[in-house]
Structure 1
Protein backbone atom coordinates (compact mmCIF):
# COMPACT_ATOMS: atom_id res chain seq x y z
CA UNK A 1 0.00 0.00 0.00
CA UNK A 2 1.39 3.41 -0.99
CA UNK A 3 1.37 6.47 1.24
CA UNK A 4 -1.43 7.96 -0.89
CA UNK A 5 -3.53 4.80 -0.52
CA UNK A 6 -2.87 4.72 3.23
CA UNK A 7 -4.04 8.30 3.70
CA UNK A 8 -7.11 7.53 1.60
CA UNK A 9 -7.95 4.61 3.91
CA UNK A 10 -7.60 6.73 7.06
CA UNK A 11 -9.87 9.30 5.44
CA UNK A 12 -12.42 6.52 4.86
CA UNK A 13 -12.18 5.53 8.53
CA UNK A 14 -12.78 9.12 9.60
CA UNK A 15 -15.71 9.56 7.22
CA UNK A 16 -17.26 6.24 8.26
CA UNK A 17 -17.04 6.99 11.97
CA UNK A 18 -18.36 10.50 11.44
CA UNK A 19 -21.41 9.20 9.59
CA UNK A 20 -22.14 6.83 12.48
CA UNK A 21 -21.61 9.42 15.24
CA UNK A 22 -23.09 12.68 13.95
CA UNK A 23 -26.78 11.66 14.02
CA UNK A 24 -26.47 11.33 17.81
CA UNK A 25 -24.83 14.73 18.43
CA UNK A 26 -27.10 17.30 20.12
CA UNK A 27 -29.90 14.75 20.27
CA UNK A 28 -31.74 13.20 23.22
CA UNK A 29 -29.19 10.40 23.42
CA UNK A 30 -29.11 8.03 26.37
CA UNK A 31 -25.98 8.01 28.51
CA UNK A 32 -24.57 5.14 30.57
CA UNK A 33 -21.97 5.39 33.32
CA UNK A 34 -19.27 2.74 32.84
CA UNK A 35 -17.12 4.10 35.67
CA UNK A 36 -16.13 1.68 38.40
CA UNK A 37 -15.34 4.39 40.92
CA UNK A 38 -16.70 7.74 42.00
CA UNK A 39 -15.73 9.54 38.77
CA UNK A 40 -18.44 9.72 36.08
CA UNK A 41 -17.29 7.85 32.94
CA UNK A 42 -20.02 8.25 30.29
CA UNK A 43 -20.56 6.10 27.19
CA UNK A 44 -23.25 6.45 24.54
CA UNK A 45 -24.63 4.63 21.52
CA UNK A 46 -22.62 7.09 19.44
CA UNK A 47 -19.34 5.85 20.96
CA UNK A 48 -20.25 2.26 20.20
CA UNK A 49 -21.57 2.94 16.71
CA UNK A 50 -18.47 4.91 15.73
CA UNK A 51 -16.04 2.27 16.91
CA UNK A 52 -18.06 -0.61 15.45
CA UNK A 53 -18.06 1.08 12.04
CA UNK A 54 -14.30 1.59 12.10
CA UNK A 55 -13.59 -1.96 13.27
CA UNK A 56 -15.69 -3.43 10.45
CA UNK A 57 -13.81 -1.42 7.83
CA UNK A 58 -10.39 -2.33 9.26
CA UNK A 59 -11.19 -6.03 9.48
CA UNK A 60 -12.55 -6.07 5.93
CA UNK A 61 -9.52 -4.24 4.52
CA UNK A 62 -6.66 -5.46 6.74
CA UNK A 63 -7.68 -8.75 8.39
CA UNK A 64 -4.14 -9.33 9.70
CA UNK A 65 -4.03 -6.01 11.57
CA UNK A 66 -4.71 -5.70 15.28
CA UNK A 67 -7.21 -3.34 16.90
CA UNK A 68 -7.31 -1.72 20.34
CA UNK A 69 -10.47 0.25 21.03
CA UNK A 70 -12.05 1.93 24.02
CA UNK A 71 -15.46 0.32 23.64
CA UNK A 72 -14.78 -3.18 22.30
CA UNK A 73 -11.34 -4.07 23.63
CA UNK A 74 -8.39 -5.67 21.84
CA UNK A 75 -7.99 -8.05 18.92
CA UNK A 76 -4.51 -9.27 17.95
CA UNK A 77 -2.72 -6.49 19.87
CA UNK A 78 0.63 -8.20 19.14
CA UNK A 79 0.26 -7.76 15.35
CA UNK A 80 2.83 -5.68 13.46
CA UNK A 81 0.17 -3.09 12.61
CA UNK A 82 -2.33 -2.19 15.35
CA UNK A 83 -5.09 0.40 15.07
CA UNK A 84 -5.82 2.28 18.30
CA UNK A 85 -9.30 3.81 18.32
CA UNK A 86 -11.26 6.20 20.51
CA UNK A 87 -14.54 6.93 18.71
CA UNK A 88 -15.39 9.93 20.90
CA UNK A 89 -12.60 11.41 22.97
CA UNK A 90 -14.43 13.98 25.05
CA UNK A 91 -17.73 12.20 25.62
CA UNK A 92 -18.61 14.64 28.43
CA UNK A 93 -18.41 17.49 25.92
CA UNK A 94 -20.36 15.44 23.36
CA UNK A 95 -23.30 14.74 25.68
CA UNK A 96 -23.53 18.41 26.67
CA UNK A 97 -23.54 19.63 23.06
CA UNK A 98 -20.09 21.24 23.26
CA UNK A 99 -17.48 20.96 20.52
CA UNK A 100 -14.36 19.81 22.40
CA UNK A 101 -14.55 16.18 21.23
CA UNK A 102 -13.17 14.19 18.36
CA UNK A 103 -12.50 10.75 16.95
CA UNK A 104 -8.96 9.49 17.53
CA UNK A 105 -7.47 7.07 14.98
CA UNK A 106 -3.93 5.93 15.68
CA UNK A 107 -1.73 3.33 13.99
CA UNK A 108 1.12 1.49 15.70
CA UNK A 109 3.77 -0.31 13.70
CA UNK A 110 5.97 -2.58 15.75
CA UNK A 111 4.60 -0.95 18.89
CA UNK A 112 5.58 2.58 17.80
CA UNK A 113 3.16 5.34 16.74
CA UNK A 114 3.29 5.61 12.93
CA UNK A 115 0.30 7.82 12.16
CA UNK A 116 -2.42 9.70 13.98
CA UNK A 117 -5.62 11.53 13.10
CA UNK A 118 -8.07 13.55 15.17
CA UNK A 119 -11.35 14.09 13.32
CA UNK A 120 -14.13 16.42 14.47
CA UNK A 121 -16.96 15.67 12.02
CA UNK A 122 -19.30 18.43 13.22
CA UNK A 123 -16.76 21.22 12.59
CA UNK A 124 -15.26 19.28 9.64
CA UNK A 125 -11.74 19.54 11.03
CA UNK A 126 -8.92 17.01 10.81
CA UNK A 127 -5.53 17.12 12.52
CA UNK A 128 -3.07 14.50 11.33
CA UNK A 129 0.60 13.61 11.62
CA UNK A 130 3.21 10.93 11.02
CA UNK A 131 5.84 12.10 13.49
CA UNK A 132 7.78 13.92 10.78
CA UNK A 133 5.14 16.45 9.80
CA UNK A 134 1.60 17.39 10.76
CA UNK A 135 -1.24 19.17 9.05
CA UNK A 136 -4.67 20.69 9.54
CA UNK A 137 -7.62 20.30 7.16
CA UNK A 138 -10.75 22.32 7.74
CA UNK A 139 -13.41 24.63 6.32
CA UNK A 140 -10.89 27.48 6.10
CA UNK A 141 -8.32 25.49 4.14
CA UNK A 142 -5.34 23.26 4.79
CA UNK A 143 -2.05 24.15 6.42
CA UNK A 144 0.97 22.67 8.10
CA UNK A 145 0.87 22.48 11.90
CA UNK A 146 3.74 23.95 13.93
CA UNK A 147 4.07 24.39 17.67
CA UNK A 148 5.13 27.81 18.89
CA UNK A 149 8.31 28.83 20.69
CA UNK A 150 7.90 29.42 24.41
CA UNK A 151 10.97 30.16 26.58
CA UNK A 152 9.57 29.03 29.95
CA UNK A 153 6.45 28.15 31.89
CA UNK A 154 5.96 31.75 32.97
CA UNK A 155 4.99 32.49 29.36
CA UNK A 156 3.05 29.26 28.83
CA UNK A 157 -0.63 28.50 28.39
CA UNK A 158 -1.33 25.26 30.29
CA UNK A 159 -4.21 22.88 29.70
CA UNK A 160 -5.72 19.83 31.40
CA UNK A 161 -9.07 18.18 30.79
CA UNK A 162 -10.15 18.51 34.44
CA UNK A 163 -8.57 18.79 37.90
CA UNK A 164 -10.52 15.63 38.75
CA UNK A 165 -8.28 13.46 36.54
CA UNK A 166 -5.44 13.69 39.08
CA UNK A 167 -5.09 11.41 42.09
CA UNK A 168 -4.48 13.00 45.49
CA UNK A 169 -0.72 12.43 45.26
CA UNK A 170 -0.63 13.99 41.77
CA UNK A 171 -2.48 17.20 42.61
CA UNK A 172 0.45 18.97 44.36
CA UNK A 173 2.72 18.21 41.39
CA UNK A 174 0.25 19.68 38.91
CA UNK A 175 -0.33 22.70 41.12
CA UNK A 176 3.40 23.44 41.16
CA UNK A 177 3.30 23.81 37.39
CA UNK A 178 -0.01 25.66 37.37
CA UNK A 179 1.33 28.22 39.85
CA UNK A 180 4.11 29.14 37.41
CA UNK A 181 2.03 29.15 34.22
CA UNK A 182 0.72 32.28 32.54
CA UNK A 183 -2.77 30.87 32.16
CA UNK A 184 -4.58 27.55 32.68
CA UNK A 185 -7.51 26.29 30.64
CA UNK A 186 -9.58 23.20 31.49
CA UNK A 187 -11.90 21.09 29.35
CA UNK A 188 -9.99 20.51 26.12
CA UNK A 189 -9.70 16.70 25.90
CA UNK A 190 -8.10 15.77 22.54
CA UNK A 191 -8.60 19.32 21.25
CA UNK A 192 -6.03 20.66 23.71
CA UNK A 193 -3.31 18.47 22.22
CA UNK A 194 -4.27 19.55 18.71
CA UNK A 195 -4.25 23.21 19.75
CA UNK A 196 -0.76 22.61 21.14
CA UNK A 197 0.27 21.23 17.73
CA UNK A 198 -1.33 24.28 16.09
CA UNK A 199 0.61 26.71 18.31
CA UNK A 200 -2.20 28.02 20.50
CA UNK A 201 -1.41 26.10 23.72
CA UNK A 202 2.08 25.48 25.13
CA UNK A 203 1.66 22.69 27.66
CA UNK A 204 -0.79 19.86 28.39
CA UNK A 205 -0.48 17.82 31.59
CA UNK A 206 -2.79 14.92 32.38
CA UNK A 207 -2.94 11.60 34.24
CA UNK A 208 -4.83 8.33 34.07
CA UNK A 209 -4.81 8.18 30.27
CA UNK A 210 -5.27 4.93 28.34
CA UNK A 211 -3.41 4.12 25.09
CA UNK A 212 -6.48 5.01 23.02
CA UNK A 213 -6.47 8.50 24.62
CA UNK A 214 -2.96 9.39 23.41
CA UNK A 215 -1.56 7.12 20.65
CA UNK A 216 -3.21 9.02 17.79
CA UNK A 217 -2.05 12.36 19.21
CA UNK A 218 1.65 11.48 19.52
CA UNK A 219 2.50 11.64 15.77
CA UNK A 220 0.52 14.88 15.46
CA UNK A 221 2.37 16.61 18.31
CA UNK A 222 5.80 15.29 17.29
CA UNK A 223 5.12 16.04 13.62
CA UNK A 224 4.37 19.65 14.57
CA UNK A 225 7.66 19.96 16.48
CA UNK A 226 6.45 19.22 20.00
CA UNK A 227 7.42 16.74 22.70
CA UNK A 228 5.14 14.22 24.44
CA UNK A 229 6.24 11.76 27.15
CA UNK A 230 5.17 10.41 30.51
CA UNK A 231 5.95 12.50 33.59
CA UNK A 232 9.20 10.54 34.02
CA UNK A 233 10.29 11.01 30.42
CA UNK A 234 9.29 7.61 29.04
CA UNK A 235 7.38 7.00 25.78
CA UNK A 236 3.73 8.01 26.07
CA UNK A 237 2.35 5.12 24.00
CA UNK A 238 0.93 3.18 26.95
CA UNK A 239 -0.76 6.23 28.48
CA UNK A 240 -0.64 7.02 32.20
CA UNK A 241 0.72 10.37 33.36
CA UNK A 242 1.28 12.45 30.23
CA UNK A 243 3.06 15.73 29.54
CA UNK A 244 3.04 17.36 26.10
CA UNK A 245 4.80 20.62 25.25
CA UNK A 246 5.31 22.66 22.14
CA UNK A 247 8.81 23.75 23.19
CA UNK A 248 11.37 21.38 24.69
CA UNK A 249 12.43 24.04 27.22
CA UNK A 250 8.91 24.13 28.68
CA UNK A 251 8.79 20.33 28.67
CA UNK A 252 12.04 20.11 30.65
CA UNK A 253 10.96 22.76 33.19
CA UNK A 254 7.55 21.15 33.69
CA UNK A 255 9.10 17.71 34.22
CA UNK A 256 11.37 19.14 36.88
CA UNK A 257 8.43 20.71 38.71
CA UNK A 258 6.30 17.56 38.43
CA UNK A 259 8.96 15.30 39.85
CA UNK A 260 10.57 17.48 42.54
CA UNK A 261 8.71 19.26 45.29
CA UNK A 262 11.57 21.55 46.22
Structure 2
Protein backbone atom coordinates (compact mmCIF):
# COMPACT_ATOMS: atom_id res chain seq x y z
CA UNK A 1 0.00 0.00 0.00
CA UNK A 2 1.35 3.42 -0.99
CA UNK A 3 1.01 6.28 1.44
CA UNK A 4 2.75 9.56 2.00
CA UNK A 5 2.59 8.95 5.75
CA UNK A 6 5.26 6.76 7.34
CA UNK A 7 2.94 4.72 9.50
CA UNK A 8 2.62 1.13 10.60
CA UNK A 9 0.95 -0.72 7.68
CA UNK A 10 -1.37 -2.66 9.97
CA UNK A 11 -2.47 0.45 11.81
CA UNK A 12 -2.92 2.31 8.52
CA UNK A 13 -5.08 -0.52 7.15
CA UNK A 14 -7.23 -0.43 10.29
CA UNK A 15 -7.71 3.31 9.91
CA UNK A 16 -8.69 2.91 6.26
CA UNK A 17 -11.23 0.22 7.08
CA UNK A 18 -12.73 2.30 9.88
CA UNK A 19 -13.10 5.31 7.57
CA UNK A 20 -14.63 3.14 4.83
CA UNK A 21 -17.31 1.90 7.21
CA UNK A 22 -18.07 5.48 8.25
CA UNK A 23 -18.50 6.33 4.59
CA UNK A 24 -20.89 3.41 4.14
CA UNK A 25 -22.88 4.38 7.24
CA UNK A 26 -23.20 7.97 6.02
CA UNK A 27 -24.27 6.86 2.54
CA UNK A 28 -26.87 4.53 4.07
CA UNK A 29 -28.45 7.38 5.99
CA UNK A 30 -28.68 9.60 2.92
CA UNK A 31 -29.93 6.97 0.50
CA UNK A 32 -32.46 5.35 2.81
CA UNK A 33 -34.03 8.73 3.60
CA UNK A 34 -35.29 8.88 -0.01
CA UNK A 35 -35.65 5.21 -0.98
CA UNK A 36 -39.28 4.40 -1.83
CA UNK A 37 -40.17 7.98 -0.93
CA UNK A 38 -42.75 10.04 -2.86
CA UNK A 39 -40.30 12.94 -2.52
CA UNK A 40 -37.86 11.27 -4.92
CA UNK A 41 -37.57 13.33 -8.13
CA UNK A 42 -35.11 11.80 -10.63
CA UNK A 43 -33.26 14.00 -13.11
CA UNK A 44 -31.79 12.93 -16.45
CA UNK A 45 -28.04 13.46 -16.98
CA UNK A 46 -28.13 12.47 -20.66
CA UNK A 47 -29.10 14.61 -23.64
CA UNK A 48 -29.61 11.58 -25.89
CA UNK A 49 -31.05 8.85 -23.66
CA UNK A 50 -32.03 8.25 -20.05
CA UNK A 51 -29.26 8.36 -17.45
CA UNK A 52 -31.00 9.06 -14.15
CA UNK A 53 -29.61 10.77 -11.08
CA UNK A 54 -31.42 11.65 -7.87
CA UNK A 55 -30.80 13.84 -4.87
CA UNK A 56 -30.05 10.61 -3.00
CA UNK A 57 -27.08 10.01 -5.34
CA UNK A 58 -25.77 13.52 -4.80
CA UNK A 59 -26.34 13.62 -1.05
CA UNK A 60 -24.73 10.22 -0.61
CA UNK A 61 -21.56 11.30 -2.40
CA UNK A 62 -21.44 14.67 -0.63
CA UNK A 63 -21.65 12.94 2.75
CA UNK A 64 -18.81 10.57 1.88
CA UNK A 65 -16.63 13.37 0.51
CA UNK A 66 -17.14 15.39 3.69
CA UNK A 67 -15.85 12.52 5.80
CA UNK A 68 -12.84 12.03 3.53
CA UNK A 69 -12.04 15.75 3.66
CA UNK A 70 -11.88 15.52 7.44
CA UNK A 71 -10.31 12.08 7.87
CA UNK A 72 -8.22 11.46 4.72
CA UNK A 73 -7.41 14.88 3.19
CA UNK A 74 -4.28 13.64 1.36
CA UNK A 75 -6.13 10.91 -0.54
CA UNK A 76 -7.56 11.48 -4.01
CA UNK A 77 -11.25 10.94 -4.78
CA UNK A 78 -13.05 9.79 -7.92
CA UNK A 79 -16.83 9.89 -7.65
CA UNK A 80 -19.61 9.43 -10.16
CA UNK A 81 -21.47 12.64 -9.36
CA UNK A 82 -18.71 15.11 -8.49
CA UNK A 83 -15.75 13.84 -10.49
CA UNK A 84 -12.06 13.68 -9.60
CA UNK A 85 -10.22 15.42 -6.79
CA UNK A 86 -6.43 15.20 -6.70
CA UNK A 87 -4.48 13.86 -3.74
CA UNK A 88 -0.91 13.38 -2.56
CA UNK A 89 -0.94 10.00 -0.80
CA UNK A 90 -1.00 7.67 -3.83
CA UNK A 91 -4.41 6.36 -2.74
CA UNK A 92 -7.72 7.09 -4.46
CA UNK A 93 -11.21 6.56 -3.06
CA UNK A 94 -13.49 5.47 -5.90
CA UNK A 95 -17.13 6.17 -5.03
CA UNK A 96 -20.41 5.24 -6.64
CA UNK A 97 -23.00 6.77 -4.30
CA UNK A 98 -25.82 4.66 -5.76
CA UNK A 99 -24.95 1.86 -8.15
CA UNK A 100 -28.27 0.94 -9.73
CA UNK A 101 -30.13 4.25 -9.72
CA UNK A 102 -32.79 2.75 -12.00
CA UNK A 103 -33.45 0.03 -9.41
CA UNK A 104 -33.50 2.70 -6.70
CA UNK A 105 -36.12 4.65 -8.67
CA UNK A 106 -38.22 1.51 -9.09
CA UNK A 107 -38.15 0.66 -5.39
CA UNK A 108 -36.15 -2.53 -6.04
CA UNK A 109 -33.65 -3.45 -3.31
CA UNK A 110 -30.74 -4.53 -5.52
CA UNK A 111 -29.01 -1.11 -5.68
CA UNK A 112 -25.94 -0.51 -3.59
CA UNK A 113 -23.26 1.94 -2.50
CA UNK A 114 -19.75 1.24 -3.82
CA UNK A 115 -16.68 2.35 -1.90
CA UNK A 116 -13.35 1.35 -3.41
CA UNK A 117 -9.78 2.24 -2.56
CA UNK A 118 -7.09 1.99 -5.24
CA UNK A 119 -3.36 2.53 -5.43
CA UNK A 120 -1.25 2.77 -8.58
CA UNK A 121 -1.80 -0.94 -9.29
CA UNK A 122 -5.57 -0.98 -8.91
CA UNK A 123 -8.20 -1.72 -6.22
CA UNK A 124 -6.87 -2.87 -2.85
CA UNK A 125 -10.04 -2.63 -0.77
CA UNK A 126 -13.75 -2.34 -1.33
CA UNK A 127 -17.21 -2.29 0.20
CA UNK A 128 -20.40 -3.21 -1.66
CA UNK A 129 -23.10 -1.99 0.70
CA UNK A 130 -26.78 -2.92 0.32
CA UNK A 131 -28.55 -0.47 2.67
CA UNK A 132 -32.11 -1.73 2.28
CA UNK A 133 -31.06 -5.36 2.70
CA UNK A 134 -28.71 -4.54 5.60
CA UNK A 135 -25.86 -6.42 3.92
CA UNK A 136 -22.30 -5.10 3.70
CA UNK A 137 -19.83 -7.06 1.58
CA UNK A 138 -16.21 -6.17 2.36
CA UNK A 139 -12.97 -7.29 0.75
CA UNK A 140 -9.29 -6.42 0.91
CA UNK A 141 -6.72 -5.37 3.54
CA UNK A 142 -7.12 -8.73 5.25
CA UNK A 143 -10.92 -8.88 5.07
CA UNK A 144 -13.38 -10.97 3.06
CA UNK A 145 -16.68 -10.89 4.90
CA UNK A 146 -20.39 -10.20 4.81
CA UNK A 147 -21.67 -8.12 7.72
CA UNK A 148 -25.41 -8.03 8.27
CA UNK A 149 -28.05 -8.01 10.97
CA UNK A 150 -27.72 -11.78 11.04
CA UNK A 151 -24.04 -11.61 11.96
CA UNK A 152 -20.72 -11.79 10.11
CA UNK A 153 -19.74 -14.61 7.77
CA UNK A 154 -16.69 -15.08 5.55
CA UNK A 155 -16.92 -14.53 1.80
CA UNK A 156 -15.72 -17.39 -0.38
CA UNK A 157 -16.27 -17.62 -4.11
CA UNK A 158 -17.57 -20.96 -5.37
CA UNK A 159 -15.03 -23.25 -7.01
CA UNK A 160 -15.18 -26.46 -8.99
CA UNK A 161 -17.97 -25.28 -11.29
CA UNK A 162 -17.64 -25.67 -15.06
CA UNK A 163 -19.45 -23.31 -17.43
CA UNK A 164 -22.11 -25.91 -18.20
CA UNK A 165 -23.14 -25.85 -14.52
CA UNK A 166 -22.55 -22.13 -13.92
CA UNK A 167 -24.90 -19.33 -12.97
CA UNK A 168 -24.12 -16.23 -15.04
CA UNK A 169 -25.34 -12.71 -14.27
CA UNK A 170 -25.29 -9.38 -16.08
CA UNK A 171 -27.26 -6.17 -15.63
CA UNK A 172 -28.61 -5.51 -19.14
CA UNK A 173 -29.56 -8.18 -21.69
CA UNK A 174 -28.08 -6.01 -24.47
CA UNK A 175 -24.55 -6.10 -22.88
CA UNK A 176 -22.85 -3.26 -24.71
CA UNK A 177 -22.23 -3.01 -28.44
CA UNK A 178 -23.53 -5.56 -30.97
CA UNK A 179 -20.10 -7.22 -31.05
CA UNK A 180 -19.94 -7.33 -27.26
CA UNK A 181 -23.46 -8.74 -27.11
CA UNK A 182 -22.47 -11.48 -29.55
CA UNK A 183 -19.45 -12.36 -27.39
CA UNK A 184 -21.59 -12.45 -24.25
CA UNK A 185 -24.15 -14.63 -26.00
CA UNK A 186 -21.49 -17.26 -26.75
CA UNK A 187 -20.87 -17.63 -23.02
CA UNK A 188 -24.54 -17.39 -22.06
CA UNK A 189 -25.43 -20.19 -24.47
CA UNK A 190 -23.11 -22.55 -22.54
CA UNK A 191 -24.16 -21.55 -19.01
CA UNK A 192 -26.78 -23.46 -17.04
CA UNK A 193 -28.59 -20.34 -15.82
CA UNK A 194 -28.49 -16.69 -16.91
CA UNK A 195 -30.08 -13.92 -14.87
CA UNK A 196 -30.28 -10.15 -15.35
CA UNK A 197 -30.67 -6.86 -13.55
CA UNK A 198 -28.88 -6.88 -10.19
CA UNK A 199 -26.18 -4.23 -10.83
CA UNK A 200 -23.45 -4.42 -8.15
CA UNK A 201 -25.34 -7.04 -6.15
CA UNK A 202 -24.36 -9.67 -8.70
CA UNK A 203 -20.69 -9.25 -7.76
CA UNK A 204 -21.57 -9.51 -4.09
CA UNK A 205 -23.41 -12.77 -4.73
CA UNK A 206 -20.40 -14.07 -6.65
CA UNK A 207 -18.14 -13.27 -3.70
CA UNK A 208 -20.59 -15.04 -1.40
CA UNK A 209 -20.55 -18.21 -3.53
CA UNK A 210 -24.07 -18.02 -4.99
CA UNK A 211 -23.20 -16.83 -8.52
CA UNK A 212 -20.35 -18.14 -10.66
CA UNK A 213 -19.87 -15.50 -13.39
CA UNK A 214 -20.59 -11.82 -13.90
CA UNK A 215 -19.98 -10.42 -17.39
CA UNK A 216 -20.62 -6.76 -18.25
CA UNK A 217 -19.57 -4.02 -20.67
CA UNK A 218 -19.69 -0.24 -20.87
CA UNK A 219 -18.59 0.28 -17.27
CA UNK A 220 -16.84 3.20 -15.57
CA UNK A 221 -14.05 2.96 -12.94
CA UNK A 222 -16.48 3.83 -10.14
CA UNK A 223 -18.69 0.89 -11.22
CA UNK A 224 -15.96 -1.69 -10.76
CA UNK A 225 -13.31 -0.70 -8.18
CA UNK A 226 -15.18 -1.91 -5.10
CA UNK A 227 -16.61 -5.09 -6.72
CA UNK A 228 -13.14 -6.07 -7.99
CA UNK A 229 -11.66 -5.78 -4.51
CA UNK A 230 -14.48 -7.76 -2.90
CA UNK A 231 -14.49 -10.56 -5.48
CA UNK A 232 -10.71 -10.94 -5.45
CA UNK A 233 -10.62 -11.01 -1.64
CA UNK A 234 -13.15 -13.85 -1.77
CA UNK A 235 -10.85 -15.85 -4.06
CA UNK A 236 -12.46 -14.92 -7.38
CA UNK A 237 -10.81 -13.72 -10.58
CA UNK A 238 -11.60 -10.41 -12.32
CA UNK A 239 -10.25 -9.13 -15.66
CA UNK A 240 -11.47 -7.40 -18.76
CA UNK A 241 -12.57 -9.47 -21.77
CA UNK A 242 -8.96 -9.76 -22.96
CA UNK A 243 -7.61 -11.00 -19.67
CA UNK A 244 -6.12 -7.66 -18.64
CA UNK A 245 -6.84 -5.30 -15.74
CA UNK A 246 -10.48 -4.22 -15.46
CA UNK A 247 -10.34 -1.38 -12.94
CA UNK A 248 -10.28 1.28 -15.65
CA UNK A 249 -13.81 0.34 -16.73
CA UNK A 250 -15.05 -0.96 -20.06
CA UNK A 251 -15.61 -4.72 -20.08
CA UNK A 252 -15.43 -6.97 -17.03
CA UNK A 253 -15.35 -10.73 -16.50
CA UNK A 254 -15.62 -11.91 -12.89
CA UNK A 255 -15.47 -15.61 -12.08
CA UNK A 256 -15.42 -17.76 -8.99
CA UNK A 257 -12.36 -19.71 -10.09
CA UNK A 258 -9.42 -19.46 -12.44
CA UNK A 259 -10.64 -22.48 -14.41
CA UNK A 260 -14.12 -21.04 -15.01
CA UNK A 261 -12.63 -17.67 -15.85
CA UNK A 262 -10.42 -19.28 -18.51
CA UNK A 263 -13.37 -21.14 -20.01
CA UNK A 264 -15.48 -17.97 -20.30
CA UNK A 265 -12.55 -15.83 -21.47
CA UNK A 266 -11.83 -18.16 -24.39
CA UNK A 267 -15.40 -17.67 -25.66
CA UNK A 268 -15.34 -13.90 -25.18
CA UNK A 269 -12.10 -13.64 -27.16
CA UNK A 270 -13.31 -15.91 -29.97
CA UNK A 271 -13.62 -13.18 -32.61
TM-score tier after normalising by the smaller chain length: over 0.9
- Kept after mapping to 2: 8 A contact 1:204/1:243: yes
In structure 2, what is the Cα distance between the partners aligned to 1:18 and 1:26? 14
The residue that corresponds to 1:222 in the other structure is: 232
Identify which of 151, 173, 180 aligns with 2:161: 151
1:201 matched to 2:211? The reply is yes
Contact residue 176 and residue 257 of structure 1 kept, 8 A: yes
C-alpha offsets along residues 202-240 of structure 1, whole Å, 9 cap, x if unaligned?
000000000000001111101101000000011111011
- Give the aligned partner of residue 43 of structure 2: 32
Residue 111 of structure 1: how far off its partner (Å): 4.2
Q: Which runs of 5+ in 1 are unaligned?
A: none
Q: CA deviation at 1:125?
A: 1.0
Q: Aligned partners of 1:47 and 1:240: how far apart in 2?
A: 22
**Which runs of 5 or more residues in structure 2 are unaligned?**
1-6
Secondary structure of 1:142's counterpart equals: strand
CA contact (8 A) 1:226 1:245 kept: yes
2:185 is aligned with 1:175: yes
Question: Quick one: distance in 1 between partners of 2:141 and 2:190?
Answer: 29
- Trace 1:232-247 onto structure 2 (pairs within 5 A): 232-247=242-257
Q: TM-score, normalised by structure 2?
A: 0.92
Pairing 1:54–2:57 present: no
Q: 1:54 to 1:121 in 2, by over 3 A?
A: same
**Aligned partners of 1:7, 1:206: CA distance in 2, in Å?**
28
Ranges of 4+ aligned residues in structure 1 off by more than 6 Å:
none
- Deviation string, structure 1 residues 33-66 (Cα, Å, up to 9, x no partner): 213443x211100000000110111011121110
- Secondary structure in structure 1 of the residue aligned to 2:26: helix
Q: Is the 8 A contact 2:175 2:181 kept in 1?
A: no
Cα separation, 2, equivalents of 1:78 and 1:239: 23
Count matched residues.
260
Larger displacement relative to structure 2 (226-235 or 133-142): 133-142
- With normalisation by structure 1, the TM-score equals 0.95
Q: Distance in 1 between matches of 2:80 and 2:252?
A: 18
Deviation at 1:154, TM superposition (A): 0.4
